[in-house]
Homo-oligomer: A and B are copies of this chain.
Amino acid sequence: MEQLDYSNQAAWTRISGDKQSPIALSDTLAIKNNFETVLSFNYKHLANYVRDTGAGIEVGLEGTANIGNRPFSLKQFHIHTPSEHTINNIAYDAEIHFVHAASDGRLAVVAILVQSGATSQTYDAVLAHMNKTEHFEIPIDDIMPASKTYYHYIGSLTTPPLTENVEWYVLKQPVTLSVEQLNHLKTFYSHNNRDLQALNGRPIISSN
């Protein structure tokens, strides 16, 4: 067995960039989880700001999430149009990303798919405070689906620096924005969805 050359470590090759997001989720590929990761969210109903980051509309909101008995802090949420993930080859009209961090730096993103339908009070509140840094009340509940069933995999941020080591939980049940709200959202970004990335053998886990 040829030994690894510890005297020339700079020459070691490093594999990275093969666990990126978004991906095409599908029930054909997904494996059923025999160990349920329970998700629960306790977000504030008072937002801190709304800003256009250049990658999307971002809302400053604090709160906590319990992901598999581990505490995470909500950092912000932002919106992509159309959706970044697809489910069974279906793209949705938009996708909301709630970005969380744990005390060890681990990132977890909860993705909420959006289809056209009922008007969202939350979106109206966001729109009314675009590019303002004043605090404002935000309902939040109408962009959080009742069912917390999800697809889970390990991926990356979908905008630079595209950091890997992100736990993704893409909720199966979509929420709605009205057609008018979706059209309005597209006046900011007609398409700020990253291309689908290769799965590269990663497991996709489906909760019940």
A53 CB contacts on chain B under 8 angstroms: 1
Copy number in the complex reads 2
B35 touches A4 (CB 8 A): no
A6 CB contacts on chain B under 8 angstroms: 191-194
A191 CB contacts on chain B under 8 angstroms: 6
A residues within 8 Å of B by Cβ?
A: 1-4, 6, 9, 12-17, 19, 31, 33-35, 37, 51-55, 68-71, 103-106, 152-154, 159-165, 167, 189, 191-195, 202-203, 205
The 7 closest A-B pairs by CB, nearest first: A15-B161, A165-B165, A16-B16, A14-B162, A1-B54, A4-B55, A69-B69
A203 CB contacts on chain B under 8 angstroms: 103-105
Residue of B nearest to A189 (CB): B3
Measured CB to CB, the closest approach of chain B to A193, in angstroms, equals: 7
Residue of B nearest to A131 (CB): B1
B13 touches A161 (CB 8 A): yes
Measured CB to CB, the closest approach of chain B to A68, in angstroms, equals: 6
